[in-house]
Amino acid sequence: MIATILPEQKKHHPVLLQELISIISPQYGGKFIDCTFGQGGYTKKILEFSNTEVIAIDRDANSGKISKNLEKKYKNRILFKNIKFSEINKLNLNKKKIKAIVFDLGYSLNQMKDPNKCLSFNSIGELNMKLGLNEFSAKEVVNNLDKKDLEKIFKYFGNEKDAKKIASVIERERVNENIDTQKLVKIIESSKRKKNYKIHSATKIFQAIRIFVNKEISELIYGLINATKIIEKDGIIAVVTFHSIEDKIVKYFFKSLSEAKSVSRYLPKQNIKTNIFKLINKKAIIPTYKEVQKNPTSRSAKLRFAIKIAEKNNFESDFLEKFKNLIEIENYSAKL
């Protein structure tokens, strides 16, 4: 797992843009939902085609400022909503038929560079990591959560081998003074048994805390469920992920709802599985060598998409069960 954005990068490049556009085909017009507006890379491209409309969502209110310029240029064709995408089902769609719903997960370069957000291990000051509309910050997590809980967060959301040791040192050190960003980096560096020369020692722990602070797993799970509920037949859901946990969730969701298991004709009718999605590509689409050269942060990106082919109620129970341990870990936040 690698950090999505490298600190040295200067300009924002929307990841896998051409591939996404060829999947959702805005050249034929239609209504789209961009669940992760960010700096508007995807939305701008969609709006360049006439007869398109975009509902742009972002949990970061700062994205609303970027959408203002597009609102001037494209008048009634863009509507920005400062909400979390897990709540996409609460949008008032006024019977609009949505052609595609897109997600480009993680955070943007602007957010990475924002000194107040402290998303990077190069940041100085209080721990934060809030992307927007959060209930708590990284400061509360690192300074208050139980050692055992921190260990699980580091292990499951960061795949960190030294999770136990790092959690113990945090617990010991925070007795004397609050742990800020740089202190956390020092704790991680001093606790690691082996130095990794490919990525910074703090990358995995920072990723894990960011996922926890923003409840990124629950957001993705409920985002997918609710997008499936609101998109109509023939609509497309497309998701760009940046690390293995996200990709595993998206892959399972699309695959499990698109593969009818062979069922016995003697089974009661209600047990026969209907497919909700059709998958065109079984494998994830990844950036070309050229894109990675131009934008190294795209190297871990994976794009998966599915076409809705049928309506079905109560399709989510197996999906929720499959990832219930990860949702449970995110719910440790109730202890804060």
Q: Provide the binding-site residues for ligand SAM, judged by CB under 6 A.
A: 14, 36, 38-42, 57-60, 63, 84-86, 104, 106-108, 131-132, 219
Residue closer to ligand SAM (CB basis): 117 or 139: 117
Q: Shortest approach of ligand SAM to residue 211 CB, angstroms?
A: 10
Residue 239: Cβ-neighbour burial (10 angstroms; 0-12, 13-18, 19+) = buried
Residue 199: Cβ-neighbour burial (10 angstroms; 0-12, 13-18, 19+) = exposed
Residue closer to ligand SAM (CB basis): 201 or 297: 297
Residue nearest to ligand SAM (CB): 41
Residue closer to ligand SAM (CB basis): 42 or 154: 42
Residue closer to ligand SAM (CB basis): 22 or 178: 22
Q: Shortest approach of ligand SAM to residue 241 CB, angstroms?
A: 10
237 strand-pairing partners: 101, 306
Q: Shortest approach of ligand SAM to residue 195 CB, angstroms?
A: 29
* Single-letter residue type at 125: G
Rounded Cα gap, residues 187 and 182, in angstroms: 9
Rounded Cα gap, residues 105 and 211, in angstroms: 11
Rounded Cα gap, residues 75 and 47, in angstroms: 11
Residue closer to ligand SAM (CB basis): 151 or 323: 323
Q: Shortest approach of ligand SAM to residue 240 CB, angstroms?
A: 8
Q: Shortest approach of ligand SAM to residue 180 CB, angstroms?
A: 23
Residue closer to ligand SAM (CB basis): 104 or 247: 104
Q: Shortest approach of ligand SAM to residue 122 CB, angstroms?
A: 19
Q: Shortest approach of ligand SAM to residue 5 CB, angstroms?
A: 8
Q: Shortest approach of ligand SAM to residue 131 CB, angstroms?
A: 4
Residue 60 near residue 87 (C-beta atoms within 8 A): no
Rounded Cα gap, residues 22 and 25, in angstroms: 5
239 strand-pairing partners: 103, 304
Rounded Cα gap, residues 179 and 140, in angstroms: 10
308's enclosing H/E stretch is: strand 302-308
Query: Would you call 101 helix, strand, or coil by DSSP?
Result: strand
Rounded Cα gap, residues 297 and 180, in angstroms: 26
Per this entry, what is the length of the chain?
336
Residue closer to ligand SAM (CB basis): 63 or 201: 63
Residue closer to ligand SAM (CB basis): 117 or 251: 117
Q: Shortest approach of ligand SAM to residue 293 CB, angstroms?
A: 19
Angle at which helix 147-158 crosses helix 203-213, to 10 degrees, equals 110
Residue closer to ligand SAM (CB basis): 138 or 187: 138
Residue 34 near residue 43 (C-beta atoms within 8 A): yes
* Single-letter residue type at 34: D
Q: How many CB atoms lie within 10 A of CB 195?
A: 7
DSSP letter string, 138-154: HHHHHHHS-HHHHHHHH
